[in-house]
Structure 1
Amino acid sequence: MPLAQIPLRIWRQRGQTFMFRGHAIRYWVAGQGEPLLLIHGFPTASWDWHYLWQPLAQRYRVIACDMLGFGDSAKPMDHAYSLLEQADLQQALLAHLNVKQAVHVLAHDYGDSVAQELIARHGEARIQIASCVFLNGGLFPETHRPVLAQKLLLSPLGWLLGRAFSRHSLVKSFHQIFGPRTGPTESELDDFWSLVQTHRGPRIMHKLIAYIPERRVQRDRWVQAMQRGEVPLRVIDGAVDPISGEHMVARYEALIPNPDTVLLPDIGHYPHTEAPALVLEHYLAFREAIAAPRRQMACS
């Protein structure tokens, strides 16, 4: 049964605002129970999770924000954007909401890197992460295959490309990375573009793209944190994603002990919008699997 969409107009009405280092950040909270932090990707925003939002909120306390520079949050021009700062932002949001218990994480793309930083901080006793599930993302710089627009944004002319970035540019990029039969509708493309262009977002895209070289700097620290096995992990991955599809999962399986991976055939870079029911099924199965040992211990 298809999952219900939350129209962007309604989603925006449900958002709240808090201040992070002088910048207004939009965030969303729903449900009760164990906290589940949803971390979105580049170049979109937390509305990416709208198909999963209601089903997850029936089971957990779901929390998400548009990160600094994304969606409806502030997009300062004179700012050095950093994945480490975005991890600080996630922790600040949890503190704002008075979340003190261990947090489960579900992340995508750029958000995967933020989640990797949180897992590393878990090992440093700076936050408690109960589990993490990664959707398509560049977990390993050596397997990340950026599309042409990303390469150009990283070039010396990136600032010029960013200013020229349009709905047409977004559509062209998305057609490259979605599955062959699961691309976004024209209405969805309008909404994705609305989130990108709000607060003159294209002006800073060349600054946001600095996450790609930053991943290389942090690579060993993040991979070692995953290899320690302190946090239960699963990868749910759209197999035909040219950026971080089946080839990334193969690298994950080679590097991570006892890897837990799920490949979704014919699905691209945005599995949570392309095949949300499948993502939900595999996510809930993961949560059930990691909860079962705790129940057995409680009963013994």
Structure 2
Amino acid sequence: MKELWVQVGLLSVPLLAVYLHIPPPKLSPTLLSWRSSGGYFTYKDQNIFYRDSTGAVGSSDIVVLLHGFPTSSYDWCKIWEGLTQRFHRVIALDFVGFGFSDKPRPHRYSIFEQASIVEGLVHHLGLRHQRINLLSHDYGDTVAQELLHRYEHNKTGSILINSLCLSNGGIFPETHYPRFIQKRVSLRAAGCSPYGGCEPSGEGTNLGIRVFDRLGAVFGPYTQPSQAEYWDMWTVVRTNDGNLVVDSILQYINQRKKHRDRWVGALMSTSVPLHLIYGPLDPVNPHPEFLQLYKKVLPTSTVSVLDDHISHYPQLEDPTGFLNAYLNFINSF
């Protein structure tokens, strides 16, 4: 009997390793290129990955890109070159807990900390007194709202914001319906994942590769990522054991509700040029409910609505349409 349990134990080790995807998957050539084109700066004791490309000659304009959940700065890869043809500096970072940045645990992840990291990067690059254009998506929209609040209230260390362009984010908690996320949160207390059963670990629910099958629900039917693109998304999440901190990061949903007045108020009171690029098939911020509220609350903001089949990741699903919409906004003032 003892030998039987030893055999079962030995068999369970590789099975557990497969389930947890240990060791982490290797980076594809495209991800290796993305990482090698960037660098790191230190915020407190955390290493934060960023990319900083010098682009258009004769332009002094700077754009900082703020990515969404649960992915990374790599979300901007399809419009990066186009942005460098218009802007003097194109800058993006991986928030702490995301991408190639550190993913500490246990850790209290917050939108406030992420905003401070953006400010830290801008200061690190010597751009503290330069006016910055912010382009954000999803989770990054909320970070941008906090940065806007600090700017409008002249907080110490705040960055100078020249313009803000939002895209498909939970700007209003009342019109935000996180699809696969809701299932994970509802099962978290039981230590279970809707994508891979229950786990005894107390370090948080493991985000398996199968989560990205569900992520397909927030892409349009004609704009689904390829298998290679799905794998790259998962690989970046899995880097530095990021799958083990997802539940901690998810507290941003509650933070949005708690600080709604602060973050929506920043948009309502600002004189900074505002724009929204919107994929209308988005099930997370659905049409027409989200767009009607946006136009009602922010009547002075301009809006670009992309084709009907574009969903929650417009910069990946329709990079040309997204880039044109953004450049039209930037060139309008």
Q: TM-score, length-normalised on structure 2?
A: 0.82
Residue 38 of structure 1: aligned partner: 65
Mapping of residues 10-159 of structure 1, within 5 Å: 10-32=33-55, 33-60=60-87, 61-99=89-127, 100-126=129-155, 127-153=159-185, 156-157=188-189
Q: Secondary structure at the match of 1:289?
A: coil
- Runs of 5+ unmatched residues, structure 2: 1-28, 194-203
Stretch deviating more after TM superposition (258-267 or 146-155): 146-155
Q: 1:108 to 1:23 in 2, by over 3 A?
A: same
CA contact (8 A) 2:132 2:161 kept: yes
Distance across 2 between alignment mates of 1:288 and 1:235: 15
Stretch deviating more after TM superposition (159-168 or 38-47): 159-168
Letter paired with 2:179? V
1:171 aligns with 2:213: yes
Q: Secondary structure at the match of 1:87?
A: helix
Shift of 1:155: 5.1
Q: 1:228 to 1:176 in 2, by over 3 A?
A: same
Pairs aligned (count): 284
Residue 296 of structure 1: aligned partner: none
Letter paired with 1:283? Y
Letter paired with 1:236? I
Letter paired with 1:200? D
Shift of 1:249: 1.6
Q: 1:237 to 1:260 in 2, by over 3 A?
A: same
1:200 aligns with 2:241: yes
4+ runs of 1 displaced by more than 6 Å?
none
Distance across 1 between alignment mates of 2:321 and 2:190: 36
Letter paired with 2:116? D
Deviations for 1:88-146, whole angstroms, at most 9, x for unmatched residues?
00000000000021110000000000000111111111331110111110000000001
- Runs of 5+ unmatched residues, structure 1: 1-5, 291-300
Who wins on radius of gyration, i.e. which is larger?
Answer: 2
Distance across 2 between alignment mates of 1:115 and 1:257: 19
Distance across 2 between alignment mates of 1:204 and 1:106: 25
CA contact (8 A) 2:177 2:284 kept: yes
Q: 1:104 to 1:159 in 2, by over 3 A?
A: farther
CA contact (8 A) 2:69 2:139 kept: yes
Letter paired with 2:76? W
Shift of 1:258: 2.1
Shift of 1:163: 3.2
CA contact (8 A) 1:104 1:131 kept: yes
Letter paired with 2:74? W
Residue 250 of structure 1: aligned partner: 292
1:189 aligns with 2:217: no
Letter paired with 1:13? S
Shift of 1:9: 2.2
Q: TM-score, length-normalised on structure 1?
A: 0.91
Residue 287 of structure 1: aligned partner: 330
Shift of 1:262: 1.5
Distance across 1 between alignment mates of 2:188 and 2:323: 41
Mapping of residues 269-280 of structure 1, within 5 Å: 269-280=312-323
Kindly indicate which of the two structures has a greater share of residues assigned to helix: 1
Distance across 1 between alignment mates of 2:148 and 2:32: 33
Q: 1:129 to 1:171 in 2, by over 3 A?
A: same
Distance across 2 between alignment mates of 1:37 and 1:81: 21
Shift of 1:215: 0.6
Q: 1:165 to 1:156 in 2, by over 3 A?
A: closer
Letter paired with 1:75? K
